[in-house]
Chains A and B, each alone.
Chain A
Amino acid sequence: MNYTQQNTPIHEALMKLRKNRTVHFDVPGHKGERGIPELTAFLGVDCLKTDVNSMKPLDNLIHPVGVIKAAEELAAEAFRAKAAFLMVNGTTSAVQAMIMSTCKAGDKIIMPRNVHRSSINALVVCGAIPVYVNPGVNERLGIPLGMPMEELEAAIEANPDAKAVMVNNPTYYGICSNLPQIVKLAHQHNMKVLVDEAHGAHFYFGDGLPISAMDAGADMSAVSMHKTGGSLTQSSFLLCNNDIDPSYVRQIINLTQTTSGSYLLMASLDIARKYMYFNGKEVVRKILELSEYARGEINRLGGYYAFSTEIVDKNATFDFDRTKLSVNTIEIGLAGIEVYDLLRDEYDIQLEFGDIGNFLAVISAGDRLFEIERLISALSEIKRIYGKERVGMLSHEYIEPEVVFTPQKAFYHDKKSVLLEDSIGHIAGEFVMCYPPGIPILAPGERITKEIVEYIRYAKEKGSSITGPKDMNIEYINIIDF
């Protein structure tokens, strides 16, 4: 059958199946609506009847030859990629598949220090060695930025044997890197470019947005369709381009992917892909209109700083995703997380996250001006009622990590807990993260230096929130035990 973007092959097959009244002697055990009445009452009959197992007319995610294959081909076309995979284990699994498809044990991969934890976990699984690049920090906002070109050039020069470069694009805050230039540089040195595009699904469908990974010529990208593309939570796309071999990527995915792929998730990817293909431009236009309006009004309240493209410096902040409503709260004397909590507890408004200096509101196709007005009015009230003198921010200092053990070796090694000051010279057995700016100070397998211990103390004194170590007071730290 010839499918076009108008089709939703998985969705269509599921609808056909519903009409068939097939008798099921297969899993799932709820068998549609009759298994657990309370579950059916809660989720609805249609939902339960869509939750079926792989079967001939529905294809198989492990080895697609029918409707799943067709849905993946349509997705590849929609995202302007050579191949696409439906992912039902979250974008985490897509990130891990990218790394494991391009790096083997002992291979080097260049990545920004503020990569998502899923990337480091992939290194634990596959045994590759990270080479970190300092993402740089916007000192005023206290947020990590994108990939600075000169830092990447230096890392590539020092590690010509690296197999791949990984980029977060956009970051949670909406910061984008110079993807076309990164791709050019990496390809000149025979390195693959992997993009964690978890927050950038909309880049493929709207106007006036930063360039997408596939358009920039990147080799692979992990796209959270469920974040800004409208599909169900946990569903994602993995995109492949250039000379990446999709059949090898499929093998890698199958190492860790469930053999009972959820048809609810797959159908949602199918339908969301079609919706964004035909309506994405309008959806993005509306989101931009709402976010630009909100930014203008929030900045007019005074104190708050809803930042946008003015922070672009064409290097570490190469571009900015204007659909993100990222707001700095330092000038009203409240931490972003305090504003986040007040909105949640006092005003019934749930934000995406808050850190020390900022909060992020996700604006999507589901929002209307009504909700935006509520957010703005509540922010106005929070400033009036709770606003204080601005507080000092700690100045962040990037400390070049010395990777002694691979994350894999460190992960599996025996460890012991020692006092922070006794840890100098030893190898860290756990993460130490400091918010802001949310860049790891230590990752498992890295040498603990005097400088690092001093920085942890300084950050603690400044009231920065430090996470990672099992010991909540950060008096003790886990080190590799020989």
Chain B
Amino acid sequence: MELWFSEYHSQYAKFSIKVKEELFNKKSDYQHVVIMDTFEFGRVLVLDGYLMVTEKDEFIYHDMIVHVSMAVNPDAKRILVIGAGDGGSIRELCRYSTIEHIDMVEIDPMVVEACKQHLPRTACSFDDPRVHLYFEDGLKFVRRKQNEYDLILVDSTDPFGPGEGLFTREFYGNCYKALNDRGILVNQHESTFYDEYVDKMRHVQHMLKEIFPKVYVYQAHIPTYPSGHWLFGYASKYYDPIKDLQAARWNGLGIKTKYYNTELHLGCFALPNYVKELLSCNE
């Protein structure tokens, strides 16, 4: 007997991986949380039927959501991470000894619990003394903050579901308020290959541009995400992601990465024409 997990990448396209064993399967107050062991991708986290993390390609996502902005501002000391219940983003952040304080706000305690038990490869830094974990709505948390953070990472699920509030003007506006005058916001920006999220992401770009003076989109290649071509949003009050890249300084930190490097940093802001056109970005 063969067990397969399939995810719809569009209404008419499916992505399937062969499952070795189910490790966790529960419904939380917010979503259906599943962790499975698979033959090709190792352990995988699935929320409401959507693949969030696989052991095999998580390094790409977590390198790219963290190191791009850290190489632009290696002096970032106070960080807010929203979502990211698998722990991968804070694992990467904790590698910077210069970071002093990390607030992590995840709405669903069950995701963190399940990942601590079954995904130790990403959920390995929750005990770092700099990490302060809050289980609440990110929108609510950030609303109460003003001028507090150098960097906000929005490591969210898709824009429909529990993460919906993290793709709104009120959220980005409150992030702006929570950042200091050199603050950077990086967010999970979906993909433009399939039509489903294109309108939403175009709207996200539009909202970010109305709020932040510097707004860009950058890309990474993540095999298990729909289309494999994934985007991140970069918005900053001050730093240009390319002109202000501190390549020598970042390389001097000696942080060994499997995907990110400072040459790729420059390249990842060079987007395919269809993406630039769809999102009217990086002009």
Residues on A facing B (Cβ under 8 Å): 346-348, 369-370, 373-374, 376-378, 380-381, 384-385
Contacts and interface: CB of A to CB of B under 8 A. Distances in A.
Nearest to B141: A373
Contacts of A376: 140, 143
Contact of B139 (A374, A384, A385): A374
B177 A377 contact: no
B174 interface: yes
Contacts of B199: none
Contacts of A384: 173, 177
B168 A348 contact: yes
A380 B170 contact: yes
Contacts of B140: 373, 376-377
Given A369-B137, A380-B143, A374 B173 contact: no
A378 B162 contact: no
Interface of B: 137, 139-140, 142-143, 162, 164-165, 168-171, 173-174, 177
The 3 closest A-B pairs by CB, nearest first: A377-B170, A378-B170, A381-B173
19 contacts: A347-B170, A348-B168, A370-B137, A370-B164, A373-B137, A373-B140, A373-B143, A374-B139, A374-B165, A376-B140, A377-B139, A377-B142, A377-B143, A377-B171, A377-B173, A378-B170, A380-B174, A381-B173, A381-B174
Contacts of A377: 139-140, 142-143, 165, 168, 170-171, 173-174
Nearest to B174: A377
Contacts of A369: 137
Nearest to B161: A370
Contacts, number: 46
A340 to B, nearest CB: 15
A373 B137 CA distance: 8
A453 B140 CA distance: 49
A370 B162 contact: yes
B152 to A, nearest CB: 14
Contacts of A378: 168-170
B195 to A, nearest CB: 20
Contacts of A370: 137, 162, 164-165
A381 B137 contact: no
B184 to A, nearest CB: 20
Given A381-B173, A384-B173, A374 B143 contact: no
A347 B171 CA distance: 10
A346 B206 CA distance: 11
- Chain A: interface secondary structure? helix
A197 to B, nearest CB: 35
Most central of A369, A373, A378, A380 by chain B CB within 10 Å: A373
B170 A374 contact: yes
B179 to A, nearest CB: 13
Nearest to A375: B170
Nearest to A301: B143
Nearest to A374: B165
A172 B173 CA distance: 31
A373 to B, nearest CB: 5
Contacts of B174: 377, 380-381
B169 A346 contact: yes
A110 to B, nearest CB: 46
Contacts of B170: 347, 374, 377-378, 380-381
B213 to A, nearest CB: 15
A374 B177 contact: no
Contacts of B142: 377
A373 B169 contact: no
Given A369-B137, A373-B137, A374-B139, A381 B165 contact: no
B169 A381 contact: yes
A116 to B, nearest CB: 34
B267 to A, nearest CB: 35
B8 to A, nearest CB: 22
A369 B177 CA distance: 22
Nearest to A376: B143
A385 B171 CA distance: 14
A377 B178 CA distance: 12
Contacts of A385: 173
A373 B144 CA distance: 12
A373 B170 CA distance: 10
A171 to B, nearest CB: 29
A376 B169 CA distance: 12
A347 B177 contact: no
Contacts of B173: 377, 381, 384-385
A367 to B, nearest CB: 13
Contacts of B171: 377
A249 B79 CA distance: 68
A377 B137 CA distance: 11
B162 A374 contact: no
A385 B137 CA distance: 23
Contacts of A346: 169
Given A348-B168, A377-B140, A378-B170, 20 more contacts: A348-B169, A369-B137, A370-B137, A370-B164, A373-B137, A373-B143, A373-B165, A374-B168, A374-B170, A376-B143, A377-B142, A377-B165, A377-B168, A377-B171, A377-B173, A377-B174, A380-B143, A381-B173, A381-B177, A385-B173
Contacts of B143: 373, 376-377, 380
Nearest to B177: A384
B176 to A, nearest CB: 9
